[in-house]
Structure formats: structure tokens, C-alpha cells
């Protein structure tokens, strides 16, 4: 499957993992199909200590732009990588266009530093129960899983590979190099997924699953549904509730909980 957009190199990266694009199984009606758009950090994977994000992004940004600006003082959860860099460098004379123009280098450096500082992935782990939950979802013809993450695509798949979750994500998605505003990502993911499947799924057939208010906001912006999960470091269930997700679950300890939740949306 070829994507005729400007992201050929990123698609080539996914293709290099030999993950085939999937076609819908025959035993479902299109109107009942739901695409789950999974966030990564704090939702599918977590680091074994805090601060790993800054460890790999600070040297990457410094190498490209000569400074990491105010990255050290920022709260970054739920932001896209492009957005984080724009925000960090705003007072350093770099415009969002300057940052976007170097997205190729950004993707390359982020993965290089990620591999270097995390010692071959030893610092990342799948969140408990996530693997079993993804497997349970995959057994249901009604659901497909895809990624909607602030990570640049290469970093996203790197994190999924080292945590053993990459096999569940064979559809296109939306990633951190796509926009400096996460609210743009659901529409991009939906367009790519519809193109890949040859379908025209409606916004309400997409369900964002994420651990921050930004995940909820991006879903609302597009008209998707959203399940908030209190699995991240930055927001508890109490923190997330005021943002009015369609549903909220505490963890993935019992895969049946997400399936029951999805069935109600
Ligand atoms: Mg997250």
C-alpha cells in the first residue's frame, strides 16, 4: 500500500518492519466498525523512571538548533514532538515554520538519541495488561487499532518494538511530526486509515484512547469518541474527569474492562 502524501520516508520505516497493511475481515458490517486510536506514552508504554523524555530530546534538539531553549522547565505530556520543540524554542528566534522545515532531521535525531540514552530499550515497559488488552481487541472483528501519538513515527515504532507491542499496529496513524497541534491528528489519522481500508468511516467511528486532557481535546475537535485512561504519570482519574471523556478507566489490568467500555460507546 502506497500513501501519496509527503510522508513517504515514514511509511518506508513502517514498511521496513514487514508489518503488512491489513484489510477488514469479512465478518463485520462497516457501520459497526470502530477504529481505536491509541496514544503511546502513559497509555501503552511507560518509562521505568521519570525524565527519560528530556534525556533524549534535549541533546537531539540542541544538535539541530544549538539550544533546547526552555525545554527543561516545560510540562510536555500530551503535546506533539513538533509542538514541544516549537514551544521550547519560541523565545530563541525559531518560528514554527523553522522547526517544521527540519522535521526530517528531528525524526532522525530523536530516534538516535532515544536508542543511545535508553540502553536498548531497558527503560521502557508496556503498561501492565496492555498487551493482553490489545490482543483481546484484535480478536474482535469490530475493532481495529491504530496510533495517534505525539511521538514522531520512527520513535513511536521504536518504543513499540522494544516493548513488544508493534505487531498490533499495522494501519497508518498520525504522529508527532505531522503537526504542532494535537487537535490536527485525528483527522489526519482518519484520512489515512480510510484511504488504506478503502472506507469512509465517520468521525464517531474513531475512538481515541489516551492519558491526558490533550487526548480528550483532540478527539472532541474531530468528533471522535474518547476513552481516558489513568495509566500515565501526569494525570490521575480525578484530574481527567473534569475534561468529560466519554469513558474513563483506571488501568488495563482486566482486558474485559476496555471491551465492556467500548461496547457502550
Ligand atoms: Mg500520553
Pairing mode, if any, of strands 34-38 and 206-210?
parallel
pLDDT at 83: 94
pLDDT at 110: 92
Domain locations along the chain: 8-47+124-263, 52-117
The CATH fold of domain 52-117: DNA polymerase; domain 1 (1.10.150)
pLDDT at 112 over 80: yes
* Alpha carbon distance 265, 249 (integer Å): 13
Q: How far is the CA of 218 from the centre of ligand 1 (A)?
A: 12
Q: How far is the CA of 43 from the centre of ligand 1 (A)?
A: 6
pTM metric for this prediction:
0.87
Averaged pLDDT score across all residues of the chain: 89
Question: 102 falls in which pLDDT band (50, 70, 90)?
Answer: very high
pLDDT at 60: 94
pLDDT at 117: 84
Q: How far is the CA of 158 from the centre of ligand 1 (A)?
A: 16
Domain 8-47+124-263 has CATH 3.40.50.1000: yes
Q: How far is the CA of 213 from the centre of ligand 1 (A)?
A: 9
Query: What distance, in Å, lies between the first and last C-alpha atoms of the chain?
Result: 31
Question: 6 falls in which pLDDT band (50, 70, 90)?
Answer: very low
* pLDDT tens digits along 224-247: 999 999 999 999 999 999 999 999
pLDDT at 140: 94
* Alpha carbon distance 185, 221 (integer Å): 10
Neighbours of 249 (CB within 10 A): 20
* Alpha carbon distance 76, 140 (integer Å): 34
Q: How far is the CA of 203 from the centre of ligand 1 (A)?
A: 21
* DSSP notation for 133-195: HHHHHHTSTTEEEEEB-SS-HHHHHHHHHHTT-GGG--S--B-TTT-SSGGGHHHHHHHHHHH
* pLDDT tens digits along 75-85: 888 999 999 99
Q: How far is the CA of 45 from the centre of ligand 1 (A)?
A: 9
pLDDT at 228: 98
Q: How far is the CA of 212 from the centre of ligand 1 (A)?
A: 6
Amino acid at each position: 500500500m502506497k500513501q501519496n502524501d509527503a510522508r513517504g520516508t515514514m511509511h518506508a520505516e513502517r514498511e521496513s518492519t514487514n508489518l503488512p497493511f491489513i484489510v477488514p475481515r469479512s465478518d463485520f458490517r462497516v457501520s459497526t466498525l470502530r477504529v481505536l486510536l491509541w496514544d503511546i506514552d502513559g497509555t501503552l508504554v511507560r518509562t521505568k523512571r521519570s525524565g527519560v523524555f528530556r534525556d533524549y530530546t534535549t541533546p537531539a534538539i540542541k544538535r539541530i538548533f544549538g539550544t533546547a531553549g526552555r525545554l527543561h522547565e516545560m510540562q510536555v505530556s500530551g503535546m506533539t514532538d513538533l509542538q514541544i520543540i516549537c514551544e521550547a524554542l519560541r523565545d530563541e528566534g525559531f518560528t514554527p515554520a523553522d522547526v517544521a522545515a527540519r522535521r526530517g532531521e528531528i525524526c532522525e535525531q530523536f530516534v538516535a538519541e532515544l536508542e543511545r540514552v535508553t540502553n536498548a530499550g531497558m527503560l521502557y515497559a508496556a503498561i501492565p495488561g496492555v498487551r493482553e488488552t490489545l490482543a483481546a481487541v484484535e480478536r474482535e472483528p469490530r475493532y481495529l487499532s491504530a496510533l495517534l501519538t505525539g511521538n514522531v513515527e520512527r520513535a513511536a515504532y521504536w518504543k513499540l518494538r522494544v516493548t513488544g507491542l508493534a505487531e498490533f499496529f499495522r494501519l497508518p496513524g498520525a504522529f508527532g511530526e505531522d503537526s504542532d497541534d494535537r487537535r490536527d491528528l485525528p483527522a489526519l489519522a482518519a484520512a489515512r486509515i480510510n484511504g488504506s481500508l478503502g472506507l469512509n468511516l465517520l468521525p464517531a467511528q474513531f475512538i481515541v484512547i489516551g492519558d491526558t486532557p490533550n487526548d480528550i481535546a483532540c478527539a472532541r475537535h474531530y468528533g471522535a469518541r474518547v476513552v481516558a485512561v489513568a495509566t500515565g504519570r501526569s494525570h490521575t482519574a480525578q484530574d481527567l474527569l473534569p475534561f468529560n471523556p466519554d469513558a474513563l478507566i483506571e488501568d488495563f489490568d482486566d482486558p474485559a474492562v476496555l471491551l465492556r467500555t467500548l461496547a457502550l460507546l
